[in-house]
Chain A
Amino acid sequence: MNYRDKIVLVTGASRGIGKELVKYFLANEATVLGLSKSDFSCDGKYFHYSCDISKGSNIHSTFRKIVKDHGRIDIVINNAAVLTSQYAMIMPIQNAEDMVNTNLLGTFFVSREAVKIMRKFKHGRIINIGSMAASLEPMGDSIYAATKAGVRTLANVMSREFSKLNITCNTLGVTAIETDMLNQLPREKIDEIIEALPVPRYANIDDITNVIDFFASDKSSYITSQTVYLGGIN
């Protein structure tokens, strides 16, 4: 899909799925605004904003700058997330809090700040990157799965609040994809989960962008509050 004249904001832009999405949108002529804690640069129409997604006040001030710099956002990809997979009884407190603050509250604050801009144009697309963990509920992922289930619920509730503004909110539940986040997990455990899927293979970036293209396009104007899982997960 061509994104010429579209401004796309991607959180967690400096690595993993976010970095791949930045490259995809740039290759398809979008202007891309990337948010992440670490510095990152890219050739083309890429504008990086250093922002700690786990802090609401940091997100608010970043969007104040974005509105002054660009004045508009068409599409938001809420991708930023952190993951610690650990049994509940031995999960470090800080890691649990980081997951809630980044994955759940970060998605909430980014969405609402973006909508404050989108509402003036009566058009917008919010696309949350969810996870198979929210559906499969694997051991060790109690907090991570809960935050990703929460991301889906955020989209569903926000879709009601924003529908009159012609802003849709949908979630893409991704399966495992080769990223640095995956390296934090025991590979045998992931292989076992993937082998049990109706489509037993790892996801690739095309699987993700195919769904994002639909959610981002005008063809999905009547589609909101929906979650699409990859790999045959319900």
Chain B
Amino acid sequence: MKVGEIVKNVVQEVVDTLPESDRFIVDNKTILFGNGSEIDSMTLVSVIVDLEEILADQYDKEMCLTDDRAMTREISPFDTIQTLVDYIEELSKQI
């Protein structure tokens, strides 16, 4: 499965566990963090944990999405679905 689909699926699955009034359809522009974010910080944590587990299986190697490389970037990988997909693809090339 492509990284874009994995990320969207994981976020959608987590969003679908929220109360009905908070649910929405996830797309590449969905904001994950900061102003305009549609999910709270603990929901984002759940997304990250799920992604790290799936990516570890996919690449057969642990991938930390929240280390210094991610947290010190000018544009956060967690801004939107698309920035997160781009970041994971970049990391996957370093494996």
A residues at B contact (CB < 8 Å):
60, 64, 116, 119, 161, 164
Contact = CB atoms under 8 A, between A and B. Distances in A.
B93 to A, nearest CB: 24
B42 A161 contact: yes
B49 interface: yes
Chain B at the A interface: SS class: helix
Contacts of A60: 62
Contacts of A119: 46, 49
B49 to A, nearest CB: 5
B42 A116 contact: no
B28 to A, nearest CB: 26
Contact of B49 (A64, A116, A161, A164): A116
Contacts of B46: 119
Nearest to B43: A164
Interface in B15-57: 42, 46, 49, 53, 56
A-B residue pairs, 8 tightest by C-beta: A116-B49, A164-B42, A119-B46, A161-B42, A60-B62, A116-B53, A119-B49, A64-B56
Nearest to A60: B62
A19 B77 CA distance: 45
A64 B49 CA distance: 13
A152 to B, nearest CB: 22
8 contacts: A60-B62, A64-B56, A116-B49, A116-B53, A119-B46, A119-B49, A161-B42, A164-B42
